[in-house]
């Protein structure tokens, strides 16, 4: 729409200072004649546009004309930008990108040292080795949520079982670096959380749905995420893996014993993930307690040994 394009041009001029007509034409995919008309409209609306001729010329908003920052300080604006960049990096959401441009425009009169400096905290919600697949799922689900359309998914549970589900998505949740969709599952007839990385196939249906009452802010996250039983573990690690151990466990859970080994006492869910995590340490780990986990790891190692005999 023309009004949206006019606003976007103003934001671009506030943010980039000087922009050529050709750059505006290419960016908005309109003719040069349309760009000139838009600039005249903006100027007539009271936002002074100045034209500069020459190879480095272009259009910019008259110096000292700025948007009021209202109640946000420069430091607060920089903090907001840092947080939005982190969210934008994991979703590639166009609306967040546009919001970033608008907020950046508010810094146009900030000291140059502040404009070019980095925020003390960098937010990046992308896991190591991430692919665009999660961002694509996020965008599809976001569109379905906005249009209130049902979604059919193929979902794989922790145990490896794949099932077909039809859900009414309500909201997207990022916890740590993991994305989830929360919504009503027609097969289970109840609200459920689905981890996006476990959704193999997904299609947005044409079936609309009426929103059901939900209170996502009152969810018991521990119960939602960890449905398996939590058990107490006593683990002993060899000194050579001390860095990895300190990365994985809280300092208060680690005790360094006489020979340099580390004993860890912790609570974890008793599931397949636990087995894989323990086995990943190889012979650098000995499970002392509980007995059933110790025996399970021992039996797995025996089966693995037979594969290589």
Q: What is the pLDDT of residues 135-156, one digit of tens each?
A: 788 888 988 998 999 999 999 8
Judge whether 300 and 279 are in contact, CB under 8 Å: yes
What would the mean pLDDT of 215-222 be, rounded to a whole number? 55
Reported as half-sphere exposure (CB side, CA atoms, 13 A), residue 183 has a value of: 29
Question: Would you call 207 helix, strand, or coil by DSSP?
Answer: strand
Strand pairing category for 149-156 and 162-175: antiparallel
Closest CA to 179 of 119, 121, 132, 227: 132
In this prediction, residue 233 carries a pLDDT of: 94
Q: Which residue has the higher pLDDT, 2 or 56?
A: 56
Q: If you write DSSP's letter for every residue of 232-285 in order, what string do you get? A: EEEEEE-GGGHHHHHHHS-GGGEEE-TTS-EEEEEEEE-SHHHHHHHHTTGGGE
pTM of the model: 0.51
Same fold, 132-225 and 230-307: no
Residue 123 pLDDT: 57
pLDDT, tens only, 107-122: 655 545 444 555 565 5
Size of the chain in residues: 309
In this predicted structure, the answer to whether residue 102 has a pLDDT above a threshold of 80 is no
According to the model, what pLDDT value does residue 223 have?
46
CA proximity to 22, closest of 36, 2, 40, 3? 36
CATH for 230-307? 3.30.70
Helix ranges restricted to H, the chain: 2-16, 21-28, 32-44, 74-91, 94-105, 112-115, 132-147, 221-225, 242-248, 272-279, 291-307
Cα 235 from Cα 233, distance rounded (Å): 6
Which two structure tokens, joined as six digits, stand for 269? 């869910």
Residue spans of the domains in the chain: they are: 2-61, 74-115, 132-225, 230-307
| d(C-alpha 32, C-alpha 45), whole Å | 20
CATH number of 2-61: 1.10.10.10
Fold held by 132-225: SH3 type barrels. (2.30.30)
Check whether 258 has a pLDDT greater than 50.
yes
């Amino acid at each position: 729409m023309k009004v949206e394009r006019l606003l976007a041009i103003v934001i671009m001029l506030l943010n980039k200072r000087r922009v050529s007509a050709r750059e505006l034409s290419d960016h908005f995919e309109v003719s040069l004649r349309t760009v000139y008309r838009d600039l005249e409209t903006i100027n007539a609306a009271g936002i002074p546009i100045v034209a500069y001729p020459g190879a480095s010329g272009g259009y910019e908003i008259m110096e000292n004309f700025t948007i009021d920052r209202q109640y946000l300080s420069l430091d607060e604006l920089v903090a907001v930008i840092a947080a939005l960049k982190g969210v934008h990096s994991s979703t590639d959401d166009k609306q967040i990108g546009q919001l970033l441009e608008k907020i950046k425009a508010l810094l146009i009169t900030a000291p140059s040292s502040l404009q070019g400096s980095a925020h003390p905290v960098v937010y990046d919600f992308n896991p190591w080795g991430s692919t665009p697949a999660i961002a694509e799922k996020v965008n599809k689900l976001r569109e379905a949520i906005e249009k209130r359309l049902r979604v059919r998914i193929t979902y794989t549970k922790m145990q490896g079982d794949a099932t077909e589900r039809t859900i009414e998505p309500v909201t997207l949740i990022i916890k740590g670096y993991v994305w989830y969709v929360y919504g009503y599952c027609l097969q289970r007839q109840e609200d459920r959380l689905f981890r996006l990385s476990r959704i193999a196939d997904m299609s947005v249906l044409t079936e609309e749905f009426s929103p059901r009452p939900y209170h996502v802010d009152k969810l018991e996250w521990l119960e939602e995420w960890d449905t398996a039983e939590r058990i107490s573990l006593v683990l002993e690690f060899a000194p050579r893996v001390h860095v990895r151990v300190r990365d994985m466990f809280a300092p208060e859970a680690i005790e360094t014993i006489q020979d340099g080994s580390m004993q860890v006492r912790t609570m974890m869910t008793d599931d397949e993930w636990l087995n894989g995590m323990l086995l990943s340490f190889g012979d650098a780990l000995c499970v002392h307690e509980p007995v059933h986990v110790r025996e399970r790891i021992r039996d797995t190692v025996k089966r693995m040994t037979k594969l290589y005999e």
